[in-house]
Amino acid sequence: GGGFLVVPALVLALALPMEYAVGTSLVVVVLTSAAALAVRAGSVVQPDWWLVLALTGASAVGGYAGARVADRTDTRKLSGAFTVLVLMVAVYTAVRALPALI
């Protein structure tokens, strides 16, 4: 998804605090995912509901744990960790795309 681009954009362009930018991005992800699930639920191809349930449960536990960690972590450290994560994703994506470009 584009959440890893939206968060820095919200922080830099709108000067939102990191917590609000991450929360805003997550709300957008939830709404988009719910809409996609609603569309898929009415189609001939049914989702694997056990997988949906497992991923939903894991996301809820991860969200709760992440919120607890974020509450105890300095905002600058959290921002730095997010920056490192975005850079790692960028390098990984570039390395995977490189063979197709050569």
13-66 per-position pLDDT tens digit: 999 888 888 888 889 888 988 898 888 877 787 778 899 899 999 999 998 998
What type of residue is 18?
M
Separation between Cα atoms, residue 96 and residue 40, nearest integer Å: 30
Annotate 42-79 with DSSP letters as a single string: TSSS---HHHHHHHHHHHHHHHHHHHHHHHHS-HHHHH
Contact 11, 23 (CB under 8 A): no
Phi-psi region of 46 (alpha: psi -120 to 50; beta: other; left: phi over 0): beta
The pLDDT of residue 81:
87
Domain locations in the chain? 3-101
Reduced to 3 states (helix: H, G, I; strand: E, B; else coil), residue 17 is coil
Give residue 92's pLDDT band: very low, low, confident or very high (50, 70, 90).
Answer: very high
Percent composition of the chain: helix, strand, coil (DSSP 3-state, to 5): 85, 0, 15
